[in-house]
Structure 1
Amino acid sequence: MQVLASLTRAKLGWGALQPVSSRIRLARAALLGRHSVMPSPLDRLLPGLVAFLVVACGEEGGGGSALVPAPRASAVSPPGPAADPSAPARAARETAPTVSAARVEGPALRFAKEKHEFGEASDTRILRCAYAFENVGTEPVVISRIKPSCGCMTTRLSKMCFEPGEGAELELEWKPLGRGRQTKGLTVHSTAFPGGFHRLFATCEVRPFVRVEPPLVYFGEVEMGKEHTLRATLTCEDPSFVIESIACPNPHVAVAVVEDTSPGPRAIEVTVRESAPWGQVVGKVTVRVRGRVPPGDGEVVHDLSFNTHARVFGDLRTDKTMFAVGKVSPGAKFRYEVRLTRASGEPFRLLDLGVDNSQPPGMTVAAEPLAAGGYKMVLTGASGSYRGYVRGQVRFATDVPGEPARRLAIAGNVAE
């Protein structure tokens, strides 16, 4: 065994690079404890042993040459403590670069990905992902603001300033609403980007836990002073779902479950009450249900919201429910028209017409008679140096019996 050890040390050390005969003599010398290298009967035995060891060592490497020195073994660190499952969420991820890229002059931020695809997901879940990035420039990068495109999204970033070579992960939480394929955006503001900002995206095929058909309960034009009712149908991924509550904050809209047909879809009624005022009546209905999310993820309590809309008129009516001027450029003029007529077709006179609470100041309204009867009310204005929302009311009064003075809202926005 001492011979084998000596030969192995010779093979793995500097002796592996010397001729075989020299290694035989050195091995014999090591065995006998002397330095003589003269031939002896042992010399006839050692070549066979060396040949055997050479072949055996070569077979361990799959047939490679046994004369190639083995690489130095790498250091192995002792095992550490068990990993903390929550550590990734709390780690200071900016300490290690996450995006490999060549350095560029000035501040430069580079993301490993621009878009995250969640695939299909229930709207009962909170979706989470992260966008890794690195400062690949030669100067520090400051992120001034991160703006999601929707209130259903929140972001988290450990800090806002990154030295060259530093990286981190921008974490996103998304509570999807609605149904179908949706794409949301994040705008990252920083001087590190051309134009001062950079857009990231997240996409999901939203599968609603509860559905309502139709998604908008639309009454159209209805007669003032009378009750009007429409039905909608609720369905759920859990056929045995329970409706815990249903309500609408508009006092002129009533909602109720028609009958409990569990398991299966449920019918609900939406009613515009006879007390509904003249003009546009809008209600937001919220239904709270309890059920189990397939495939067995447990019981959830989930809220579904949908809208109802009606245009309530008496004899006097308009073709629009507001003066919606929309977006107005700074320094620009704008104009919007609303037609005022009678359902009976009888002629009438305008007794009063004006604008109240004008923003921007100076909006005016004028009446132009229509050939078929009635009037065209024309709103005009100029944004000038004003910035912000366009607001106010157009008031009008007529000689139509039973129709008091009415108002229509003005809505818009002055922006670049």
Structure 2
Amino acid sequence: MHHARSLAAFLILTAAFISPADAAAMTTPAPASAPHADDAPKIHIDRMKQDWGRVSDLEVLHTQFTVTNLGGSTLIITELKPSCGCVKPRMRDNKREIGPAESVILDVSFEPGSKTGINNYHFDLRSTDPENPVLKVDVTCDVNPTILVEPLGGLSFGAVDRGTKTTRQVLVAGLAPDFRATFATVSGDSPITVKVGPTKDVTINGDARRQTVLDVTLPDTLKIGRFEERIFVRHTDKRVGLINVLISGEVLGLIRSESASIPLGVAAPEAPLAGEFKVFNAQGKPFTINAVEFRPRQGNIPIELKYTPTPNADRSAYTIAFSGNAPSRAAPITGEIIVTTDVTGEPPLRIPVSLAVRIPKEPEQPE
């Protein structure tokens, strides 16, 4: 009893010496601790790839993904960025804020259009997950076209000599049992012609198809230079519109240069310039050079041009040498060397020339 009264007296005495501020501090709760990593949003998607397998180009493909927030705070989907406009990802009901332990549906569609074969695309799923701000989700399929055009990507004639008549084929094959191409024409007023040939039964990649042959002909009058045209093809399959096929190539002159261009690089003012290149007849026939000149486009180079028949070439090839000096002022120089010959119907051969005249930097003086 005596000890109890002594303890009570001690507590009363101690309380008398505690200030009100100290008392308030003793009763104020401690500040909350910083959020743990588990409190951050954490994205999870049920799979990282969708493979539709073999599909028709007439159908629009659909699938859905489940996106879940495994974190402790709201997850925000900030962007859905597809690698192709044919892939369309969309959060269902446009819901982009996902609470903890909540799941939402991500709808994705794919439109094959004119695509064929294996198609690999993806879309980026961007969110506020600090550990995985970007998820790359793949979508793939093997598109089986209702109408298959070969060569895939169009018909390239490559390089063709001037004055050469050339015919190549385009094959158009449909899945419909009564398919056939009925009409074909070339765009614009092109001298290139196309003729619809016979249709026959074929099997391509395990599919029974009806295939029509189109004969595409370049006339021998086609001008020198690159060409690019389109063939438009009508057919019997009403599910598919007009087919267009790209045709391209380049007609080369008979007189050619071993150098497509002559880049002289960088030279100091009045620096000596010299070099040579060869011109030749692609058919190996003799010819005569009537004139060689340099025609400036920007600036000028006072150069001298000389040409001599290449030894053992029976005048079917010439070596053209040039020499001179760079201009006295710093400037870019462009132009072309023009070679005129006696070959009937052959336009002048033009070889681009370029030079940059720069004043050399003075070496730094040692301190």
The 1-side partners of 2:212 and 2:73 are apart by 61
1:111 corresponds in structure 2 to 45
The 2-side partners of 1:288 and 1:185 are apart by 34
Are 1:246 and 1:255, in contact at CA under 8 Å, matched by a contact in 2? no
The 1-side partners of 2:258 and 2:95 are apart by 51
The 2-side partners of 1:351 and 1:178 are apart by 48
The 1-side partners of 2:260 and 2:87 are apart by 32
- Is 1:403 matched up with 2:311? no
Question: Of 161, 172, 188, which residue of structure 1 is paired with 2:96?
Answer: 161
- TM-superposed deviation, 1:302: 4.4
Are 1:107 and 1:141, in contact at CA under 8 Å, matched by a contact in 2? yes
Are 1:244 and 1:288, in contact at CA under 8 Å, matched by a contact in 2? yes
- Is 1:314 matched up with 2:253? yes
- TM-superposed deviation, 1:242: 4.1
1:174 corresponds in structure 2 to 111
2:166 corresponds in structure 1 to 228
Are 1:144 and 1:160, in contact at CA under 8 Å, matched by a contact in 2? no
* 1:310 partner amino acid: G
- TM-superposed deviation, 1:115: 0.8
1:58-207 correspondence runs (5 A): 104-157=38-91, 158-159=93-94, 161-165=96-100, 166=102, 167-175=104-112, 177-192=114-129, 194=131, 196-207=133-144
2:94 aligns to what SS in structure 1? Answer: coil
When normalised by structure 2's length, the TM-score is: 0.55
1:301 aligns to what SS in structure 2? Answer: coil
The 1-side partners of 2:157 and 2:147 are apart by 23
Question: Of 118, 132, 156, which residue of structure 2 is paired with 1:218?
Answer: 156
The structure with the largest alpha-carbon Rg is 1
Deviation track 1:210-266 (CA, whole Å, cap 9, x = no partner) reads 223333423232233554322222221124114365444464364534235477421
The 2-side partners of 1:112 and 1:244 are apart by 49
The 1-side partners of 2:337 and 2:65 are apart by 58
Deviation track 1:163-199 (CA, whole Å, cap 9, x = no partner) reads 3244231322232544333322112333436574221
* 2:196 partner amino acid: V
Q: More deviation in 398-407 or 235-244?
A: 398-407
Cα 1:224–1:115 shift into 2, 3 Å: same
Question: Of 215, 218, 224, which residue of structure 2 is paired with 1:269?
Answer: 215
Deviation track 1:325-384 (CA, whole Å, cap 9, x = no partner) reads xxxxxxxxxxxxxx984435777846247689xxxxxxxxxxxx9x98679xxxxxxxxx
1:91 corresponds in structure 2 to none
2:294 corresponds in structure 1 to 351
- Is 1:279 matched up with 2:196? no
* 1:403 partner amino acid: P
1:203 aligns to what SS in structure 2? Answer: strand
The 2-side partners of 1:283 and 1:193 are apart by 51
Are 2:43 and 2:68, in contact at CA under 8 Å, matched by a contact in 1? yes
The 2-side partners of 1:171 and 1:320 are apart by 52
The 2-side partners of 1:104 and 1:119 are apart by 38
By relative contact order (CA 8 Å, sep 6+), the higher-ranking structure is: 2
1:37 corresponds in structure 2 to none
Deviation track 1:30-67 (CA, whole Å, cap 9, x = no partner) reads xxxxxxxxxxxxxxxxxxxxxxxxxxxxxxxxxxxxxx
The 2-side partners of 1:191 and 1:340 are apart by 63
The 1-side partners of 2:335 and 2:111 are apart by 43
1:182 aligns to what SS in structure 2? Answer: strand
The 1-side partners of 2:74 and 2:221 are apart by 63
Are 2:339 and 2:349, in contact at CA under 8 Å, matched by a contact in 1? no
The 2-side partners of 1:340 and 1:131 are apart by 64
Indicate the structure with greater helix content: 1
Q: Number of residues paired by the alignment?
A: 255
2:148 aligns to what SS in structure 1? Answer: strand
2:269 corresponds in structure 1 to none
1:113 aligns to what SS in structure 2? Answer: coil
Cα 1:272–1:340 shift into 2, 3 Å: farther
The 1-side partners of 2:75 and 2:260 are apart by 50
Question: Of 135, 146, 164, which residue of structure 2 is paired with 1:209?
Answer: 146
Indicate the structure with greater strand content: 2
* 1:112 partner amino acid: D
